[in-house]
């Protein structure tokens, strides 16, 4: 799934050590879309390497690709929205052409087509 909007909050990072002794880090962000009735979504990025790779900054316009999962703890269920890809809006997309521009015509052929005559008795009926 995807969500496009502006980063409006960056929450404090959390981290710790797993039962297996591995260090972990997670960073949460809040993004708001630009619909008539704006919606907000809090998502997280797991892993110090991903947090550094995405380098999400306050006020950025992003498209966030994410997965939703739920887990149970003490007879309660909690949702997790985890980002797996982040793209800057307009970073890779070419600038849109103004509405008043005429469409570009197809390119003209570079050379006239060549007709091969393999048989000189081959006459057309018209």
Residue 120 confidence class, pLDDT cut points 50, 70, 90:
low
pLDDT tens digits, 21-71: 999 999 999 999 999 999 999 999 999 999 999 999 999 999 999 999 999
Strands 76-88 and 61-73 turn out to be antiparallel
Superfamily of domain 2-88: Nucleic acid-binding proteins (2.40.50.140)
Q: Identify which of 79, 88, 12 has the alpha carbon closest to the alpha carbon of residue 41.
A: 79
Q: What is the pTM of this model?
A: 0.69
Residue ranges of alpha helices (H) inside the chain are 48-54
């Amino acid at each position: 799934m995807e969500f496009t909007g502006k980063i409006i909050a960056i929450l404090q990072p959390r981290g710790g050590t797993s039962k297996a002794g591995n260090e972990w880090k997670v960073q949460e962000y809040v993004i708001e879309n630009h619909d008539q009735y704006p919606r907000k979504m809090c998502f997280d990025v797991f892993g110090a390497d991903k947090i550094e790779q995405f380098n999400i900054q306050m006020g950025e316009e992003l498209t966030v690709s994410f997965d939703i999962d739920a887990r149970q703890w003490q007879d309660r269920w909690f949702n997790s929205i985890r980002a797996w890809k982040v793209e800057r809006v307009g970073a890779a997309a070419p600038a849109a052409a103004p509405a008043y521009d005429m469409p570009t015509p197809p390119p003209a052929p570079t050379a006239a087509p060549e007709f091969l005559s393999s048989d000189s008795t081959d006459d057309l009926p018209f």
